[in-house]
Amino acid sequence: MSNETEKKRTGMYENVMHEFNKAADKMNLDPGVRKILASTQNEIVVHFPVKMDDGSIEVFTGYRVQHNNALGPYKGGLRYHPTVDIDAAKALATWMTWKSAIAGLPYGGGKGGIQIDPSKYSKGELERITRRFTYALGDNIGPDYDIPAPDVNTNAQIMAWISDTYASAKSPANRSVNLHVVTGKPVVSGGLAGRDRATGFGVVTAIKKWAKKNNVDLNGKTYIVQGFGNVGYWAAHFLHKEGAKLIAVQDHTGSIANANGIDPEELSAYAKTNKGGVGGFEKAQKIENAEFWKTPCDILIPAALGNQITVDNANEIKATLIAEGANGPTDAAAEEIILKKGIHIIPDILCNSGGVIGSYFEWLQNKRAEIWKIEEVLEKLNDKIETAFDNVVSCAERYKTDYRTAAYIVALEKLEQVYKERGVFP
């Protein structure tokens, strides 16, 4: 890799601040509000010991960053991954502030996790790690203060452990009162029907809105997906229903392709027997990871980790649309290349906001002691995404700018208005 390429690479937090400053300049954001929003409010780092199955003790490091709560409680996921650190948490928490504002939710942004590879630990060890992390966070989370949710390598089971640990630490241990301390729980433990598919459903809702605006018929269109976890699978599931054809997939086990189409349901069933990976799927050919990005297609859905589309592969992409299912999959330098090529981008803070919208519905359901039907959930989710999409398109036309910058402006205008109306204490 050349030194020039190295210089062009940017971290997730640098990408966030680059886009923030670009939008703030474009809209002439109030200088005082700009200073407030350019920094996080709280950055929490905890180190906690856990006994392993063999009786040994390991000390883990966990993070929770709270960016801003002007619109409501902090809200955002917890991820278990070796790349978790304070800068990643800052970037993701900041994105959550913008995402919630764009979606019209009464939330601020939070994010965090533990710096581990969960595949190296038993289920019992993961439970103890999760419960001890929850206890270490203490009152830094709470049902009306900071509400975590699932993210990379975390799931409904982990949310159930957090919910139970948090409630058990309160006196008296009233689980109904504290049920909404996390979202993304199993349905029988207070979770929302349809929460598992909310992000992927939202990605496809945004794609459908883009298609309608651009007079594109999705039936017969081809798409490729990076990452075939929760978001990637459900996005493929719902696009398949629209008649689109999945022709390539990449994940941590490799890349596969089939020009005649890959059935998302068959691939999902196979992945469940293959430790969650798509590598080795018999109804597709193995391709090199670099070739995945060169696959000619109509739609590319990055649904894995951040900074996957860089200056190294941006020129290779042969798609009409990039729909960002992951957080921060495209770095700033790569985006310049992609936009110059005429490729459209539905930015992450709009495209994958279905997850936080679904979390909001679960939070409301718990607060009201209600049970919502999945049809009702998906209908409400569709309406929220469509409204947010229309607002971003309108802003893009008003400022004559790209969708990502417009999405930031929609969020910043809302937060600017709140600060101007309320003032700054004291």
Which is the CATH superfamily of the domain at 13-177? Leucine Dehydrogenase, chain A, domain 1 (3.40.50.10860)
Pairing mode, if any, of strands 57-68 and 108-114? antiparallel
What pLDDT, in 10s, does the model give residues 350-394?
A: 999 999 999 999 999 999 999 999 999 999 999 999 999 999 999
pLDDT band at 145 (very low <50, low <70, confident <90, very high): very high
Mean pLDDT of the chain: 94
Q: Is 286 an active-site residue?
A: no
Are 179 and 187 spatial neighbours (Cβ–Cβ below 8 Å)?
A: no
In 3-state terms, what secondary structure has residue 87?
helix
Domains 13-177 and 197-346 share a fold: yes
Average pLDDT rounded to a whole number, residues 100-118 = 97
Measure CA 120 to chain center.
24
Which residues lie below 8 Å from residue 224, measured CB to CB, with a gap of 6+? Answer: 246, 247, 248, 249, 250, 292, 295, 297, 299, 300, 301, 319
State how far the alpha carbon of 312 is from the alpha carbons of 33, 257, 293, in Å: 36, 21, 10
Are 360 and 195 spatial neighbours (Cβ–Cβ below 8 Å)?
A: no
What pLDDT, in 10s, does the model give residues 291-338?
A: 999 999 999 999 998 889 999 999 999 999 999 999 999 999 999 999
Q: What is the pLDDT of residue 170?
A: 84
* Dist CA 161 CA 380 (whole Å): 28
Instruction: With residue 232 as reference, give the H or E element that holds it.
Output: helix 230-241
* Dist CA 346 CA 352 (whole Å): 9
Q: Is the pLDDT of residue 192 over 60?
A: yes
E runs forming strands in 69-144 = 74-80, 108-114
* Dist CA 221 CA 60 (whole Å): 46
Are 259 and 297 spatial neighbours (Cβ–Cβ below 8 Å)?
A: no
Give percent of the chain above pLDDT 70. Answer: 97
Burial of 26 (0-12, 13-18, 19+ CB in 10 A): middle
Q: What is the DSSP letter of 142?
A: B
Spell out the long-range contacts of 167-170 with Cβ–Cβ below 8 A and sequence spacing 24 or more. 169/134, 169/135, 169/138
Q: Which of 8, 22, 90, 111 is catalytic?
A: 111
What pLDDT, in 10s, does the model give residues 5-28?
A: 333 345 889 889 999 999 999 999
Average pLDDT rounded to a whole number, residues 273-288 = 94
Q: What is the pLDDT of residue 8?
A: 39
Q: What is the pLDDT of residue 3?
A: 39
The residues spanned by each domain of the chain are 13-177, 197-346
- The total of other beta-carbon atoms located within 10 Å of residue 407's CB is 30
User: Encoding tokens for residue 343?
Assistant: 């490729």
> Does 99 appear as a known binding residue?
yes
pLDDT band at 206 (very low <50, low <70, confident <90, very high): very high
pLDDT band at 4 (very low <50, low <70, confident <90, very high): very low
> Does 359 appear as a known binding residue?
yes
Which is the CATH superfamily of the domain at 197-346? NAD(P)-binding Rossmann-like Domain (3.40.50.720)
> Does 230 appear as a known binding residue?
yes
What pLDDT, in 10s, does the model give residues 331-344?
A: 999 999 999 999 99
> Does 253 appear as a known binding residue?
no
49-61 core/surface letters (b: 16 or more CB in 10 A; e: else): ebeeeeeeeeebb
Q: What is the pLDDT of residue 177?
A: 82
Q: What is the pLDDT of residue 46?
A: 97
Q: Is the pLDDT of residue 225 over 70?
A: yes
Q: What is the pLDDT of residue 10?
A: 55
Q: What is the pLDDT of residue 173?
A: 66
Among candidate residues 141, 5, 161, 12, the one with its CA nearest the CA of residue 69: 141
* Dist CA 358 CA 100 (whole Å): 11
Q: What is the DSSP letter of 371?
A: -
User: Encoding tokens for residue 282?
Assistant: 């018999």
Amino acid at 21: N
Radius of gyration of the chain (CA): 21
> Can you spell out the DSSP letters for 50-86?
EE-TTS-EEEEEEEEEEEE-SSSSEEEEEEE-TT--H
Spell out the long-range contacts of 306-312 with Cβ–Cβ below 8 A and sequence spacing 24 or more. 306/12, 306/15, 306/88, 306/91, 307/9, 307/10, 307/11, 307/12, 307/15, 307/331, 308/226, 309/334, 309/335, 309/338, 310/8, 310/9, 310/334, 311/5, 311/8, 311/9, 311/337, 312/1, 312/5
In 3-state terms, what secondary structure has residue 355?
helix
Q: Is the pLDDT of residue 200 over 90?
A: yes
- The total of other beta-carbon atoms located within 10 Å of residue 10's CB is 19
Q: What is the DSSP letter of 309?
A: B
E runs forming strands in 289-394 = 299-302, 321-323, 344-346
Q: Is the pLDDT of residue 191 over 50?
A: yes
Q: What is the pLDDT of residue 426?
A: 76
Amino acid at 315: N
Whole-model pTM?
Answer: 0.92
- The total of other beta-carbon atoms located within 10 Å of residue 421's CB is 7
User: Encoding tokens for residue 408?
Assistant: 């930031």
